[in-house]
Every structure is written in C-alpha cells, then in structure tokens.
Chain A
C-alpha cells in the first residue's frame, strides 16, 4: 500500500512544479467555460426550460462540467506508450507490485495536482464572472462526489484499455483522437444526452460514456430523483466492474505478448 501512496504523492509533487501548464490549462478552461455559458444563454433566450431543465440549472451543469474535466486527466496512454516504445516495459515486471494499481496511483496523484493547479484557479476566476452554484445539501454533494469517483474510474479504465493496445500497435495516434472525440460528444460533457433524439438516448444508455459526465452532473443539478440516483450509481459500479475485468483480461494478454516478444 505504501508504495502506491508514494507513487501518487511523487506524481502530485512533480506535476505541481509544471507552472506553465497551469497557466495554459487555466486559459483553455476559462475559454471553454465562457463559450459554453454564452452558448446556453443564447439557447435559452425566450424559453424557460429545455427538456425540463432551467437556464440556471444548465449553467450550473456547464460550470461543474468544466471543473470536473480539469480533474479528470489521465496520463496512462502517454506513459505506457513511452515505456513500450523505449523497451522499458519488460523491466516494470521486475518489481513485485501490481502494475495496474501502480499506474492508477500515478494518475490519481496527477489528478490531485490538478485540483490545486487547475480546479481551484478555474473556480476562483470563474466566480468573478458567474455565480458558482452550491449543491443543494451536504448529502447531495456527498453523493455527487461518490458518483464522480466512479466516473473517474470509468474514464480511467477506458483510457487504460486503449493504452494497452500499444502493446500491439506501438503507436496509438488516431485511436486516441477518436476516443477523445467520442467522449467529448456523447458523454454529456458539453451537450447533455437528454437533449439528443430518443432513439439515440436509448442506444447511448448501453454505452459507458454518459456515465462519465452526465450522471454526476445530473446529480449535482438535482435533475433526477433519489431512485434514479441509486440506479445510476449502480450502473456506474457495473461499468467499473465490467471495464476492470476487460482490462485485466487484456492486460494478461499483453503481458504474455511482452514475455514472448521481448518487449
């Protein structure tokens, strides 16, 4: 356990020193935030509610989405790709630790650094322009946090699954771009899925993506009932389980590949 905590702590410290990244990501996040706020203000001009969601709820949704996304960063694709390309991956197996947990710990460390370097600055600066809405109650905030953690795991597992493909292809290139595009469009990060046509909503409900952004955000803005919240958390947990199993299976295949091909 100590080793994993230390890994997270090391990454946290290392990433806190990247000042330049802090400034650039702050800039991008603020631009995205402002653009979406104006987009929704325009969309709502003349109507009170779209799909039963008011303008102020939608603005909350947008602001929290930007804050979440600044926290939802993961480095696994990059680090795995580098380890494989340089042929160092085989050496990782010389350490008596679980490598998947080690990679996850590192990424959690990086995300923790994002809380300090990205989330808090964006929060403070955006508070100057728009009113950042507080959650309804402590309890709902707690549920939101739990849901966000599950979201984090779902997203990380998707990234890890893609990253493991590096063992066979070496370069990820387009695949990563496609995945990032999909997440942008159908996770509810920018446009909530409930605004999509009914048949698309149906199809998307069988995919993991909307459980990354839309679920915790819906909880935050009080759009769904208690029963629906419980059900969403359950589905998130199922996805975490399912994707974990898939990752373990693929990882074992990748290991075998390394052990036979020599990394």
Chain B
C-alpha cells in the first residue's frame, strides 16, 4: 500500500540579494535583485507502508524542504504530494492527525512547561483516550526512559533528553507515518542508540512508516531499508543501500598475508592492486567470483598465512556521490 507519493515536486524560493554597505542596502531597497533558489527540483517517489526511508544529501541539498512539503507546512511551487491519498494542504487537519513529526533543530515541546505537561496537552489536542494514553506513556518509558526527566521543564533538558521527549511527543497519538528531520543530530553514542532502537521498534511493532533525514551514515546502515540520495534538489540515487553500494562501488578487496615477500600473486578474476612486503591487495567483483571461491583458489596455489575481506567504504561512496553531482548543474539560477 502506498502511503506517500510525491509527483514532480518542486520548490523555488525567491530571495532578495543584499549588497554590502549602505549604498548596497539603498540600491536593494529601490530595485531589489531577486534570486531564485531551486531548493527542490522535480522530485518524484513513492513510499510504501512500513518502509524506513532515509534521505541523505549534503547541506542545502533540499532534504528539509522536501520533508516540509510532505508534511504540508510548505507549499510546493509545482507538483503534488499525497499522504494516504489526501493532499496535506487541502485536508490539513485530517492529514496531520495521521502524522508524527520531529525537526531535530527545532522543538515542538512547550519550552516553559514541564515535559509531562506537554504530553498532557498533546493528549487533549489529539483526543487520546485515557487507557491508550497510559499504555503509550508506559511504552515510551520502556523504550526511551522518559519518566526519568518527565518533571523537568523542557528548557532545562539536555539535548539527548529533549530529543527523546520530542520522539515520544510525536508518537503519542500513534500516527501511522513518522517524519524525522535529523533526529540524531548532536547526540552521543548512547543517545543515538536509544533513538535508533525506538525507531526500529515502532516500525516492527506497529508497521509505522518512517521517513528520516540524516548526516549520520550509521543511521542509514542500521535503520533504512531504502535510501534516497538528494543533491542540488534532485534525486540522484533511490534504492536499498546494498543496491546503491553494488552499483557505485562494486568492488571488494581481499587482503592476504603471505609467507614470503617475493611471491607474485595472480588470479584470472581478480586484480592484484598492491603488494608491499608480505601484504597483497586483490580487487574483485562480487558478480564475477565469490569470496570463498577466490580464497580457496589462492590458498591452494600460494602459502597464505592470514587474510581479511574489506567491504567498500560507504562513506567514501557517498562522498563520491555528492561530488559526482557537483559537476552537473548548480541549484542557483537567475
């Protein structure tokens, strides 16, 4: 079942370029120089129920803008979004009931209230029944440990505590769709771990569809069944991480330690890319030969003492992806 569908979604922002100094300020007052920023450019995708989709891309790529349009708080310049077949603009109140949203850089909790009071307020806003509220609060405590700091005013919470509070607040009314814009930003190892655990758990237990943006590739590796890479407002890759890796970096490396340095190592389906002293690096394609086959071939012919397989580095791959697109077109035009 398709939960979210974006069809040729675009967002252009008009910004006035301000010149330096008084003269510049005056001239931009009289005839302002307007620049159009193509924040999101013709983006289409469909998201199925129960998917965890990660949006990644460099700063300013258009991730947050895309999330804002999906949640209905930003009008697209052209194209359309549907959530469960409804437009988030025309049916705002109906659609937002079905959504949980966290913007990691902002807070939706009441700054001067204690955390628990924000929850009480949300209970009334979403008209959550007492029994449901109790059950959900209990679960939030089990996974996120919120009872520890539920009596502290929000402004006094640590970032990690606040983020756990934000997640609990977003999920209190058990929405079937959850949007998370950088939910792990600025958190320590433990904080990230508990948030990932929470996301996995609600996804498995309730089949919640999760859309998240992040700069942390561990989030992607540990959570996302699907990755959408966006750069300069365009989708450059869309698919499971493994598939993208396969396409982008199809090679793996076998690193051997051999008995004596002088031996030249050869194999018809692998390239010897480096050999220094006792260490030999061989590059091979998964599609051409399996690791076990290669290892057994080599062990048969050469005195191999030790070996390890190196997977392609995801981070390198992503960096390549970001760079690749810098050469084609830029997001700003006049």
Tell me the A residues contacting B by CB distance below 8 Å.
Answer: 2-3, 5-7, 10, 14, 86-88, 90-91, 93-97, 256, 258-263
Q: Are B106 and A6 in contact (CB under 8 A)?
A: no
Alpha-carbon distance between A246 and B319 when the two chains are bound, in angstroms: 52
A92 to chain B, nearest CB (A): 9
Tell me the B residues contacting A by CB distance below 8 Å.
Answer: 13, 65, 68, 71-75, 89, 92-94, 96-97, 99, 101, 103, 106-108, 110, 112-113, 117, 120-121, 124-127
Chain A residues, Cβ within 8 Å of B126: 96
Alpha-carbon distance between A10 and B122 when the two chains are bound, in angstroms: 13
Chain A residues, Cβ within 8 Å of B73: 90-91, 93-94, 258-259, 263
A262 contact from B65, B96, B103, B112, Cβ within 8 A: B65
Q: Are A260 and B93 in contact (CB under 8 A)?
A: no
B138 to chain A, nearest CB (A): 21
Q: Are A87 and B124 in contact (CB under 8 A)?
A: no
Chain B residues, Cβ within 8 Å of A259: 73-75, 89
Chain B residues, Cβ within 8 Å of A10: 110, 113, 117, 121
B74 contact from A86, A88, A90, Cβ within 8 A: A90
B125 contact from A3, A87, A258, Cβ within 8 A: A3
Chain B residues, Cβ within 8 Å of A260: 74-75
A199 to chain B, nearest CB (A): 39
Chain B residues, Cβ within 8 Å of A97: 125
A56 to chain B, nearest CB (A): 44
Alpha-carbon distance between A258 and B92 when the two chains are bound, in angstroms: 14
A4 to chain B, nearest CB (A): 8
Alpha-carbon distance between A10 and B124 when the two chains are bound, in angstroms: 13
Q: Are B96 and A95 in contact (CB under 8 A)?
A: yes
Could you say which of B73, B75, B89, B127 has the most chain A C-beta atoms within 10 Å of its C-beta? B73
Q: Are B106 and A87 in contact (CB under 8 A)?
A: yes
A54 to chain B, nearest CB (A): 47
Chain A residues, Cβ within 8 Å of B68: 90, 262
Alpha-carbon distance between A263 and B103 when the two chains are bound, in angstroms: 14
Q: Are B113 and A2 in contact (CB under 8 A)?
A: no
Nearest chain B residue, comparing its CB with the CB of A96: B93
B121 contact from A3, A14, A87, A91, Cβ within 8 A: A3
Q: Are B99 and A94 in contact (CB under 8 A)?
A: yes
A91 to chain B, nearest CB (A): 5
Q: Are A91 and B112 in contact (CB under 8 A)?
A: no
A44 to chain B, nearest CB (A): 46
B288 to chain A, nearest CB (A): 49
Chain A residues, Cβ within 8 Å of B94: 96
Alpha-carbon distance between A10 and B65 when the two chains are bound, in angstroms: 33
A26 to chain B, nearest CB (A): 22
